[in-house]
Amino acid sequence: MSREVQLGVLLRHDDALLPDHAGSAASSALRRRQLVARRRTSARGARWLIGASVLLWACLSPCLGRAFWVVNFGPAKPISRDKIGFAAGMGGQMVFVGDPVEKNGFFFIPHAGLRIGVASRFDMGVRLAPVPLPFSTVGPGFGANLDGKLLLSPLEAGVQISLIAGAGLAHVMVRDDRRFAWSPNAAGLITFRAQEPVQLTAMGRYVYLAIPTATGGSSDNFVHIAGASFGAKIDAWKPVAILPEVGVYWYQGELHGADASGPGFQYGLMLATSF
Lowest mean pLDDT of 9-13, 151-155, 167-171, 231-235, name the range: 9-13
- pLDDT tens, residue by residue, 3-24: 444 444 444 444 444 455 455 6
What does pLDDT average to over the chain?
A: 77
pLDDT score of 57 more than 50? no
pLDDT score of 41 more than 80? no
Domain assignment of residue 128, given as a range: 64-274
CA distance 230 to 248: 9
In a domain, 28, yes or no: no
CA distance 84 to 214: 37
Residue type, 238: K
In a domain, 158, yes or no: yes
pLDDT score of 232 more than 60? yes
In a domain, 46, yes or no: no
DSSP 46: H
In a domain, 17, yes or no: no
- Using CB atoms within 10 Å of the CB of residue 64, give its burial: 0 to 12 exposed, 13 to 18 middle, 19+ buried: buried
User: Domain count of the chain?
Assistant: 1
In a domain, 52, yes or no: no
Instruction: Say what the pLDDT of residue 154 is.
Output: 94
Question: Which pTM does this prediction carry?
Answer: 0.74
In a domain, 16, yes or no: no
3-class secondary-structure state, position 203:
strand
In a domain, 14, yes or no: no
In a domain, 167, yes or no: yes
Give the residue with greater pLDDT, 275 vs 38.
275
CA distance 76 to 164: 9
Q: pLDDT confidence of 183, banded at 50, 70, 90? A: confident
Q: Specify the CATH number for the domain of residue 123.
A: 2.40.230
**Taking residues 147-167, what's their average pLDDT?**
95
